Structure 1
Amino acid sequence: MADHSPPEQLRSAASKANGTTQPPEGWRRPPHNHYRQAYAAIDLGTNNCRLLIARPTSENFIVIDAFSRVVRLGEGLAQSGRLSDAAMDRAVGALKICAEKLRRRNVHLARSVATEACRRASNGASFIERVQRETGILLDVISAQEEARLAVLGCHILLEDGIGPAMIFDIGGGSTELVLIEPGGPVPRIIDWQSVPWGVVSLTETVGPEKEDADDEERAARYAEMRRIVSESFAAFAARIEGHRAPDLRLLGTSGTVTTLASVHLELPQYDRNAIDGLVVPSDSMRDIATRLSSMAPPQRRGLPCIGNERADLVVAGCAILETILDIWPAPRLGVADRGIREGILRSLMAADAEGSQARAELKRARQGEA
């Protein structure tokens, strides 16, 4: 079981950040003791469907069940503007497994979110209806701003100590979020942020599939085009935050791209979350790995542990996005987080429920006093 430990008093502050003291409509409240209940978070992204089920323990929470599956919901979206039938079938199949886990674990409070693919797709709303009809799960299509906030809430405790603003980023399947924060207190203050519609799936499909027999020059040109697209999209944000750079630059990334490259850095034979989550890697090492992966032929990448067939065609786009981020915020070290939106959901959810329970207890005491 994984232990995800927030800083002291995070739950109360997270509730304030969520703007509510009561769980949002659609969340079910546990009927028994708060600390005995299971809470769940589902994140349906452009590439992956992920689930975490956890129980709070004092100021921490313990993950009691998890699920992750590559569903490629956004496959073909860049060309058609729609979610394909095959992609929706894959996503619904994964969500049915999530729904069964929710029932089996007796989850009483849950939040399920969908991100860029459902935001962009012309048939996103009908897909949400199908998911609810076939699985019972009500997906909340969140904004890019909410996506960024949840990612920060879920992983900021892994930031290195230092002075001045820090950058947190999330490279997804359909979008990338960059968030400049002022650390301090249980929840950092967001100074500025930007989301662009380029993730590992959307950028790969926009530039076009990689040729198996491409030569070095063709691969270099394709990678340069990816870098150009992302750099232009982040240009205005990069200009805005130029004045916030300080000598003590800190950078933290949460995504399959950074965890994969960190695994390559450690030369792991297979992925190991305990070795990756919280790791700090020299940025130059990550750049070197990105350059090496982008210049490899597809069969070479497939042969690398922790990449394989599943990530070989998408990791190049992730490398291009990561290098652009390192250009914008040239921190000497890169923190790696294998946590993000789901953990942010859980912290917000537990905080809201705990604060609501406290409010109800105070109201009950007040009524008893009046009697």
Structure 2
Amino acid sequence: MADFFPPDGNKGAGKRGAEKSGRVADFRYRPPSRPDECKDGGKSRHGGDSLAPAGPASAQSQRTFQPGGKRQAYAALDLGTNNCRLLIARPSGEDFTVIDAFSRVVRLGEGLALSGRLGDAAMERTLAALHVCADKLRRRNVHLARSVATEACRRAENGEAFIERVRRETGIALDIISAEEEARLAVLGCHVLLDGGEGPAVIFDIGGGSTELVLIEPGDRVPHILDWQSVPWGVVSLTDMVDRGENDPVQRAARYAEMRRVVSESFADFARRIADYRCDLSRIRLLGTSGTVTTLASLHLELPHYDRRAVDGLVVPSQSMREISTRLSRMSFDERGELPCIGPDRADLVVAGCAILESILDIWPAHRLGVADRGIREGILRSLMAADAQSERRLSRLRGGA
């Protein structure tokens, strides 16, 4: 469980709507710097948050401990622009076993692209979901947890105020993570599903308010991150920003073309930087983690309803995903809403996801696309378990030398 990417501790949101990217040599795991903040029976714990009020700003969290040793529960909560997701798990060998999960569409970022603020209705929907999460955390006696918020709270003028309200009303201490940390957690959570090979790969996460792309190469235990970029276009922000022309095929085609243009311009710098890595198209690999890719994979399989077991880890021809994207972009809202695995909840957002996906395939034209129904939450869980295991090993060595 060692050698995992660490959180970077950078909560800065940057300028609203700004793109973020940077060359990075490696994101290997480093132990947290405060190993003795909380103790239980002489055992030091660190990282994460609990239902208790937040501690120092550098940790944004406190811990709760239950007796019972290494089989205790860990939790990861990811509050995105569109969804609120919780995963609770116990270690199982080098992996973990999920014991509880929760996911709800909250559309926290609805209208954010135009107003710059989180709306009242969106915040109420989100708080209702977070109350459910808080109840699950209490009932499962979670030992160590981390709760993060992403692009919607990074960009919103009232994002910090909403985080404080969440802490007061639910006890959950959300940490607004940087785009850089969001990218590395997504990689950590899903890189094991990369298609076999030794060539460079791009892992991407199409969110509600942003999209992260990470260029990696194989490493000893985890991949080395060579470059990354985050752009402020996800399925919610792009849908809100581009005029919703849906009345006839001509309007739908124009709207989709505008989405493609906006996203492609945002990806342009990253595309230039990674151009040399895609010289041999037979070696490059691509893996996506998002509702967009899992939805399109379900349509590729012609599933009557969503089945995670059939989709997570699936590898599909990229051309098939392009064809499905084009077909969806030409349909009306009602036609998309009638399709299995889309429905009315996703019918308006899936077109933006298709535009982002096709733009990614333009700059990284891998022949096949890997599909992951996992990401940030799994990355958080692995980080928490790795940190805890390393702390236990360090204390064991210290006791042995005493």
* Deviation readout 1:316-345 (Å, 9 max, x if unpaired): 000000000000000000000000000000
Aligned to 1:228: 261
**Closer/same/farther in 2, CA of residues 96 and 196 from structure 1, 3 Å limit:** same
* Residue type at the aligned position of 1:195: S
* Residue type at the aligned position of 1:20: P
- Tell me if structure 2 keeps the 8 A contact 1:13–1:187: yes
Please state how far the C-alpha of 1:307 moved relative to its aligned partner. Answer: 0.2
Sequence identity (%): 71
* Residue type at the aligned position of 1:96: H
3-state SS of 2:4 partner? helix
Q: Which has the higher helix share?
A: 1
Counterpart-to-counterpart distance in 2, 1:20 and 1:203: 37
Whether 1:19 and 2:21 are equivalent positions in the alignment is no
Whether 1:172 and 2:210 are equivalent positions in the alignment is no
- Tell me if structure 2 keeps the 8 A contact 1:179–1:192: yes
Please state how far the C-alpha of 1:32 moved relative to its aligned partner. Answer: 3.3
Aligned to 1:104: 139
Aligned to 2:401: 366
Aligned to 1:129: 164
Aligned to 2:370: 335
Aligned to 1:73: 108
Aligned to 1:319: 354
3-state SS of 1:309 partner? helix
Counterpart-to-counterpart distance in 2, 1:32 and 1:184: 36
Where does 1:142-181 land on structure 2 (aligned, <5 Å)?
A: 142-181=177-216
3-state SS of 1:345 partner? helix
* Residue type at the aligned position of 1:237: F
- Flag structure 1 segments of 5+ consecutive residues without an equivalent: 1-10
**Closer/same/farther in 2, CA of residues 226 and 238 from structure 1, 3 Å limit:** same
Counterpart-to-counterpart distance in 2, 1:174 and 1:203: 8
Counterpart-to-counterpart distance in 2, 1:324 and 1:68: 28
TM-score by length of 1: 0.94
- Tell me if structure 1 keeps the 8 A contact 2:5–2:184: no
Aligned to 2:225: 190
Whether 1:250 and 2:240 are equivalent positions in the alignment is no
- Tell me if structure 1 keeps the 8 A contact 2:78–2:377: yes
* Residue type at the aligned position of 1:14: F
Please state how far the C-alpha of 1:184 moved relative to its aligned partner. Answer: 2.6
* Residue type at the aligned position of 2:254: A
Counterpart-to-counterpart distance in 2, 1:194 and 1:51: 25
TM-score by length of 2: 0.86
- Tell me if structure 2 keeps the 8 A contact 1:169–1:254: yes
Whether 1:120 and 2:120 are equivalent positions in the alignment is no
Please state how far the C-alpha of 1:361 moved relative to its aligned partner. Answer: 1.9
* Residue type at the aligned position of 1:144: A
- Tell me if structure 1 keeps the 8 A contact 2:292–2:354: yes
Count of paired positions: 355
Aligned to 2:21: none
Aligned to 1:30: 65
- Tell me if structure 2 keeps the 8 A contact 1:15–1:355: no
3-state SS of 1:13 partner? coil
Aligned CA RMSD, in angstroms, stands at: 1.2
Please state how far the C-alpha of 1:162 moved relative to its aligned partner. Answer: 1.1
- Tell me if structure 2 keeps the 8 A contact 1:29–1:353: no
Counterpart-to-counterpart distance in 2, 1:237 and 1:135: 39
Whether 1:219 and 2:252 are equivalent positions in the alignment is yes
- Tell me if structure 2 keeps the 8 A contact 1:15–1:352: no
Aligned to 1:88: 123
* Deviation readout 1:123-162 (Å, 9 max, x if unpaired): 0000000000000000000000000000000000000111
- Tell me if structure 2 keeps the 8 A contact 1:27–1:111: no
Counterpart-to-counterpart distance in 1, 2:106 and 2:118: 12
Which stretches of structure 1, 4 residues or more, deviate above 6 A after TM superposition? none
Aligned to 1:202: 237
- Tell me if structure 1 keeps the 8 A contact 2:5–2:185: no
- Tell me if structure 2 keeps the 8 A contact 1:34–1:354: no
Aligned to 1:55: 90
* Residue type at the aligned position of 2:298: S
